Amino acid sequence: MAYPEDVQKLINTAASLYASKDYSAAADKYAEACEKAAAASGSEDADLLFLYGKALFQCAVANSQVLGGVTGGDEKPDDEEAPTEKDSRFQFSEEVPLAEEDDVSEDEGPQKAEESDSEDDQDENEAEEEEQTDFEVAWEILDLTRTLFEAQLAEFDEKDDVKKTEPLLQSESEEPSDPQTLIRKKLADVYDILGEVSLEAENFQQAATDLESSLKLRELLYPIGNGLLSESHYKLSLAFEFCVEDPESTAKAIKQMELAIASMRAAASGVDTDLLQDMKVRLADLKKDPEEKMKEEKDRIIEGILGQAAPTAAPKEAPAPAAVNDLTSMVKKRKPSAGKLVNGKRAKK
């Protein structure tokens, strides 16, 4: 798509900043480009919003690493204890609650009551803006992108849909020959990064939902040995592993890990043996009996305590480092404040 000259300059600048990992500045430029493009065309541009959302996500990850957790998660602890107050902000009622009506004296009159309501609404809006984390902003922009791409895909009637032999593409670098395939490719990428946002926010159920949607599209798009398929199975395995409320989550995590390994072995360009071995280690760890895992963890704790209590004892062989691809050790543990909001805002289809 051709953009106006001023918008294209902003896009080029943003891309350069993103490549240099200045994600905050890149996000600002993409935001400006989105605004100008929307003003020129009269509608939101899904492609630009996706670039903006990706920059916001990378910015959120960088900030989280600096602060040691999801930004804003520790600033308002009372919000988690009073969800009904937070939820009330999403009610589009213009009526004054009874408690507020009682507080307004009769001699102040309706005008004073309206001023009080206006001030209360403004305070609530400001508080809501302050509470919103970087991950929440990124998720909202990306979810809007998802909505726009899905609307574009729905515009094609079934009779107009191009019937092609699956997979539709041979690699992620191949340019789609029809608009439906192009939109599916973009939508798969949007779902994938939405899943990553939810993983970072520790909203594992939402992450699993979005990563499954991405995987279904990629299975339609790419052959089994494609790296994106292996990656999707891998991330989905991680999301399922932490869906503790699902009694079948471990079995699902194991299945996705097995599919990730199978996809990697089928790669036409050769197999990364080190990565494959790491994935096998992770699969073996998933298959361990929970009681065995607990016993091993207790043994490590006891060994550590004994080692501290007897510093003069003969040094023991250091335990093997965690596998590079054991994503359970790579996911940053944070309060699920962003995840709760993420889970609540998606309109279930």
286-312 confidence digits (pLDDT tens): 998 776 766 777 777 887 787 765 555
Residues 137 and 182 in one domain: no
Give per-residue pLDDT as tens, 64-81: 887 665 544 444 444 444
The three-state secondary structure class of 121 is: helix
Q: What is the pLDDT of residues 107-150, one digit of tens each?
A: 555 565 566 666 666 666 665 556 788 899 999 999 999 999 99
203 three-state secondary structure: coil
Dihedral of CA 96/101/105/107: which sign? positive
Please give the pLDDT value at position 267. 87
Structural domains counted in the chain:
2
The owner of tokens 């009506």 is 101
One domain for residues 149 and 199: no
- Same domain as 249, residue 182: yes
Q: Give the pair of three-digit tokens for residue 1.
A: 């798509």
Question: Tell me, what's the pLDDT at 160?
Answer: 61
Q: Is residue 210 part of a domain?
A: yes
CA angle 34, 38, 42 (to 5 degrees): 170
Among 7-11, 92-96, 160-164, 276-280, the range scoring the smallest mean pLDDT is: 92-96
Q: How far is CA 84 from the centre of its chain?
A: 25
pLDDT of residue 130: 62
Distance separating alpha carbons of residues 238 and 55, to the nearest angstrom: 23
223: in domain? yes
Has residue 47 been placed in a domain?
yes
Looking at residue 166, its pLDDT comes to 82
Q: Which residue has the tokens 């779902």?
A: 191
198 lies in the same domain as 60: no
Q: Which element (helix H / strand E) includes 82?
A: none
Of 222, 243, 269, the last residue of a domain is 269
Greater confidence (156 vs 317) lies with 156
AA letter at 186: K
- Under 8 Å between Cβ of 346 and 143: yes
In a domain, 88, yes or no: no
Question: What are the pLDDT digits (tens) for 165-186?
Answer: 889 999 999 999 999 999 999 9
List the single range of 34-48, 162-176, 179-193, 202-216 with lowest mean pLDDT. 162-176
% of the chain beyond a pLDDT of 70: 66
Whether 311 is covered by a domain: the verdict is no
User: Which stretch, 32-36, 165-169, 224-228, has highest mean pLDDT?
Assistant: 32-36
pTM metric for this prediction: 0.70
Range of the domain at 60: 1-67+133-155
